[in-house]
Structure 1
Amino acid sequence: MEASKQELDFFTTNPVALSLRNVYASFSERREALGLSNPGTVENIAKEVQRDVFLNNLTFSGIRADLTKAFSVAPLFQVSHALSMGSQGLPPYAYAAMYGSPRVFLQANIDNDFALSGRFNYRWTSALVTKSSVQIMPGQGAMFSFENDYTGADFTASLKTINPSILDGGLTGAVMGSYLQSITPRLALGIEGVWNRSAMAYGPDLIFSYAARYKSNDWIASAQLLAQGGVQASYWRRLTDKVEAGVETNLQFVGMGPAGGPLGMPGRKEGVTTIGAKYDFRQSSVRAQLDSQGKVGCLLEKRVAPAVNLTFAGEIDHPKNTAKIGLAISIESADEEVMMAQERPGFEQASPPF
């Protein structure tokens, strides 16, 4: 036993191992001295513009009603009913349930056509989170994704797979890996790689894209160089305590390589620029955006009662000569004990791994 222990100690006490350990310790001390912060993920590099200002995931059409019932806040557990009418993108009825604790997050949704979607996230440590999701559409197949996110003090690494399979005699599906590292307290650089193989009859594709993010005191700029031949840049700025604005530009270079465009046609450039703003009032918020293609959109969210939210969405597409209008009401209810527990002084719960 002593001989085997001495052999194992040799791998950690030899001069080479000690030198590598000292180099790593010195490198870690210098990184800590820079005061670097976590820059987020490559996927959300422009979240301040795309999620906080723009209407990308918020606009809708028709009439919608969301009824939510909370049964507990620690852990979080609630169910909801969603009804819609006159909308092409939303089902007439959907039922959802959600459970969240500091380590586990569960969400499931089923609509009147029996389309099922679900998410399961698990936090192994404060830095490592595993996320999985599944979507089953009757008559259209299913989609499954599996993701691992590691959040370091000054970097974020992510590995994600979509519909992985080895049943065809080899690996098919899509594998995406990304890494975003803070270089200075304000600048972060990242890279993202995507490996894709739809079937064994086709060869795999491997593409890379590069990202940069610069964060100042009251503004954030980001840019991505896409492997398909495109550039995406965004700029977000907080004008006042209640007003924030953002602009985003997407440029696509179609067929600009040596092979030219489709059918030998010369390559062309396509681009869209979108500008938007958000104004927060005491009980409501207003968002508006306009793009270079002539599309105008706005969204008004107002809390008319402590548990009732009213949302109005409108969009006009001038080139297509179309318009969309949406009106939604959201009602949240909870038992008196749940509300009292949430308002209790000193109540605080760690956020679930969304």
Structure 2
Amino acid sequence: MAGLVPPATAPAPAPDTTQKPKENEKADYLNLPCPIPYDEISREAYMSLKPELFEGMRVDFTKGLNQKFSLSHSVTMGPTEIPSQSPETIKIPTAQYEFGANFLDPKLMLVGRVLTDGRLNARVKCDLTENLSLKANSQLTNEPHMSHGMASFDYKGRDFRSQFQLGNGALFGANYIQSVTPNLSLGGEVFWAGQHRKSGIGYAARFNTDKMVATGQVASTGVVAVSYVQKVSDKVSLASDFMYNYLSRDVTASFGYDYILRQCRLRGKVDSNGVVAGFLEERLNMGLNFILSAEIDHTKKDYKFGFGLTVGE
């Protein structure tokens, strides 16, 4: 009878719930994320490598009248470069005052600026539906044939974005960008400038993860642009870009950083043309920021330094 009794078996091991099955890690191509707009495909590199540098003194004051409406005043004093065929940089001293009004609503944004030299700038953004929005901007000047305006219709789909643009001078443009994987998006654009009888087509690609963003663009106008941003930590980012024009044979490469501290933000860059720049924004108190801007062009022997204050939120 002992030979008929089955041997004792060890209990089956419990399934390991700490590891997810590989099937769950596969990308769901029916629920891809919506990509960023085509014209903002390199915004991370742009923020690090192209800060708003200025020369001289600048003071900006913003006063909120209510939750939606605010007024702004801006004073700038410093030299302004004038076009010249000589290799030396020619500057003239200038001073300027700017008055602005802002209306911010969840579905409507109106921004207007009036300058002492007679220029008027205006921007409008209106959400017509949950997926369709209208953007418009214009600049009016006293100089003949220098005023311009542009309007665009942006459509945001589940995993794509499209845009159609209209501008003065018979300017027409359209672009489209589509997410093809959770990390990769591809897009293209076309434009026609009727006043100058020029047309063009371009392509773009963007690959992003939690730690990096890489973009590439090429256009029939001759421009090839590549950018890469590496997020070292929550406070430090490194960025680089490369631009090449195969028609004019111009090449520019730059490298920069973006360092965010508790009370300040420091950005800097250096490029292949011998230009070194730095931009510092420090929060002195609630609603009070101090700004330092510096740029050195070793090739042209041009040195720029600026400081300013920003009052109000």
User: Which TM-score band applies after superposition, normalised by the shorter structure?
Assistant: 0.7 to 0.9
Structure 1: give runs of 5+ residues left out of the alignment: 1-30, 164-171, 255-267, 334-354
C-alpha contact 1:55 1:299 (8 A) present in aligned 2: no
Task: Work out the CA distance in 2 between the residues paired with 1:91 and 1:156.
Answer: 42
Could you tell me which residue of structure 1 aligns to residue 265 of structure 2?
Answer: 285
TM-score (norm 2): 0.84
Could you tell me which residue of structure 2 aligns to residue 42 of structure 1?
Answer: 38
Could you tell me which residue of structure 1 aligns to residue 311 of structure 2?
Answer: 331
Task: Work out the CA distance in 1 between the residues paired with 2:50 and 2:180.
Answer: 31
Which protein is bigger by CA-based radius of gyration? 2
Cα drift, residue 55 of structure 1:
2.7
Q: Closer, same or farther in 2 for the Cα pair 1:33/1:207, shift >3 Å? A: closer
Could you tell me which residue of structure 2 aligns to residue 69 of structure 1?
Answer: 63
Task: Work out the CA distance in 1 between the residues paired with 2:303 and 2:286.
Answer: 32
Task: Work out the CA distance in 2 between the residues paired with 1:230 and 1:303.
Answer: 38
Could you tell me which residue of structure 2 aligns to residue 125 of structure 1?
Answer: 129
Could you tell me which residue of structure 2 aligns to residue 83 of structure 1?
Answer: 75
Could you tell me which residue of structure 1 aligns to residue 14 of structure 2?
Answer: none
Does residue 195 (structure 1) correspond to residue 179 (structure 2)? The answer is no
Does residue 146 (structure 1) correspond to residue 126 (structure 2)? The answer is no
Could you tell me which residue of structure 1 aligns to residue 87 of structure 2?
Answer: none
Structure 2: give runs of 5+ residues left out of the alignment: 1-26, 82-93
TM-score (norm 1): 0.74
Structure 1 segments (4+ residues) deviating >6 Å:
none
Structure 2 counterparts to residues 98-247 of structure 1, below 5 A: 98-140=102-144, 141-163=146-168, 172-198=169-195, 204-247=197-240
Give the secondary structure class of the aligned counterpart of 2:49.
coil
Cα RMSD (Å)? 1.7
Q: Closer, same or farther in 2 for the Cα pair 1:91/1:196, shift >3 Å? A: farther
Could you tell me which residue of structure 1 aligns to residue 241 of structure 2?
Answer: 248
Q: Quick one: which amino acid aligns to residue 136 of structure 2?
A: S
Task: Work out the CA distance in 2 between the residues paired with 1:225 and 1:177.
Answer: 16
Which structure has greater strand proportion? 2
Task: Work out the CA distance in 1 between the residues paired with 2:204 and 2:170.
Answer: 24
Cα drift, residue 270 of structure 1:
1.8
Q: Closer, same or farther in 2 for the Cα pair 1:87/1:330, shift >3 Å? A: farther
C-alpha offsets along residues 210-233 of structure 1, whole Å, 9 cap, x if unaligned?
000111221010000111122100
C-alpha contact 2:184 2:208 (8 A) present in aligned 1: yes
Give the secondary structure class of the aligned counterpart of 1:72.
coil
Q: Closer, same or farther in 2 for the Cα pair 1:138/1:231, shift >3 Å? A: same
Q: Closer, same or farther in 2 for the Cα pair 1:100/1:91, shift >3 Å? A: farther
Task: Work out the CA distance in 2 between the residues paired with 1:55 and 1:100.
Answer: 26
Task: Work out the CA distance in 2 between the residues paired with 1:319 and 1:33.
Answer: 50
C-alpha contact 1:91 1:111 (8 A) present in aligned 2: no
Cα drift, residue 91 of structure 1:
5.5
Q: How many residues end up aligned between the 2 structures?
A: 274
Q: Quick one: which amino acid aligns to residue 194 of structure 1?
A: F
Task: Work out the CA distance in 1 between the residues paired with 2:251 and 2:183.
Answer: 28
Cα drift, residue 33 of structure 1:
4.7
